[in-house]
Amino acid sequence: MRPTWAEIDINSLKSNFLQVKRIVGKDVGVISVVKADAYGHGSVNVSKALIDSGSNLLGVATVEEALELRDSGIDAPILLLGGIQPDEVEAMVKNNLIPSLFSLASAHAINTYAEKIGKKVRYHLKVDTGMSRLGVCVGEICDFLENLLNFRNLELEGVFTHFANADLNSSEPTLEQISVFNVMLSLINQAGLNPQYIHSANSAAIQRFPESHMNLVRPGIMLYGAGRMGDFELKPVMKLKTRITQLKRITAGTPVSYGGTFIASRPSIIATLPIGYADGYMRRLSNRARVSIRGFTAPVVGTVCMDMTMVDSTEVPGVMAGDEVVLFGDEMVSAEDVARWADTIPYEIFSITGKRVPRVYI
């Protein structure tokens, strides 16, 4: 009922997935990253579409995210990219989730429970090649593997790392990480472990570093139509839309919104939109962003409020209350534009789009 919504184009999502497959080739599998509610696009509907398109696995950050997919009837393999806590082990095993392992404490907890119920649990070993976030470092890998071999109810299915700088102009940091990763893979093989899956490439590396593709890649942002590098075609998947609630004619010198941060320099037509920072339309966009109305762009004026945003629609011919407004996602205002105005990245713009903004799938 609310005149603010996020329109999700499933065909564009599938097109972006097929672009990934065209880049990496038929012999390389795909783990589609659908964490953070599929970057704000709705994890259940997005995951079903990606599985239909041929995704081999799904990647989430938390057990709760994975359980939402399981509860919706999705039985595809799901990798917990953020690891596992000991008190999450039972839910993880019962729902056939695949943990990322980089902690012996977690490995012990999983092995103990798996042994108790007579089951073997597949896992992916996370190694740190330069991100300095999660993973086993190269200097620790031999001792770590020696300990892992004592856990008889754990079965290595994959090995992976994550790149810190694949989207930067300089290729040297990523090439160095690939080199370290290859050294660690050699040590893992020498320990007698032969993973089915080897993966390192995120969206940027998929497009820039063919040597990182291994036999599985992990696209995230490019599935949702952002993060394009080079000549690859990616289609926007989300359009954030609303409708004008009221038009107000004001005189020159009239302040708009909290604090009067915008003062009209001319007689103006101010359009009030029923969307604000509680919906994920950031306060930082005040007096910076533009929106799309009737094929024209109009500036956001005054401070973005919790539930409302004001736009100067003076130069939009024929503007009327009830007109559809695109905050981002069409050919006039992109998510990258909004990210630039907000001094952030499209990942954040998508993922903070609030729960009270309904998703409409087309």
CB 262 within 8 A of CB 254: no
Residue 50 and residue 41: Cα distance in Å, rounded?
12
33, 103, 227, 251, 341 from 290: Cα distances, Å: 30, 46, 21, 21, 9
Which positions are catalytic? Answer: 35, 258
CA 288/CA 162 separation, integer angstroms? 34
Q: Using an 8 Å Cβ cutoff, are 250 and 268 in contact?
A: yes
Question: Is the CB of residue 204 less than 8 Å from the CB of residue 163?
Answer: yes
